[in-house]
């Protein structure tokens, strides 16, 4: 799902491993939640896909903000 994203090659694998770790941690914490509070929290593959989708949308938005800042800085420098 991240193959299309423009990520630096050295960072790609750690990002994917982190996403998997977070999803597994949520599963573990959900079991503890059930034991302590007797309430269910379901963790599904759809949650994982939503997590990836949210990461991609935040990455896109932050890159857009950075590009805007770069353009403003270039414009200011050219005026100077």
Domain residue ranges in the chain? 9-79
Question: Do residues 23 and 42 touch, judged by C-beta distance below 8 A?
Answer: no
The yes-or-no verdict on residue 70 having pLDDT over 90 is yes
Three-class DSSP category at 2: coil
- Give per-residue pLDDT as tens, 5-17: 889 999 999 999 9
What percent of the chain is modeled with pLDDT above 70?
100
The yes-or-no verdict on residue 1 having pLDDT over 90 is no
Question: Do residues 19 and 59 touch, judged by C-beta distance below 8 A?
Answer: no
pLDDT of residue 25: 96
- Give per-residue pLDDT as tens, 25-60: 999 999 999 999 999 999 999 999 999 999 999 999
Check: pTM over 0.85? Answer yes or no.
Answer: no
């Amino acid at each position: 799902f991240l193959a299309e994203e423009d990520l630096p090659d050295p960072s790609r694998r750690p990002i994917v491993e982190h996403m998997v770790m977070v999803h597994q941690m949520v599963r573990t914490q959900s079991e503890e939640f059930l034991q302590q509070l007797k309430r269910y929290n379901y963790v599904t593959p759809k949650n994982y896909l939503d997590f990836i989708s949210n990461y991609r949308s935040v990455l896109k938005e932050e890159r857009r903000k950075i590009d805007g800042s770069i353009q403003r800085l270039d414009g200011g420098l050219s005026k100077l």
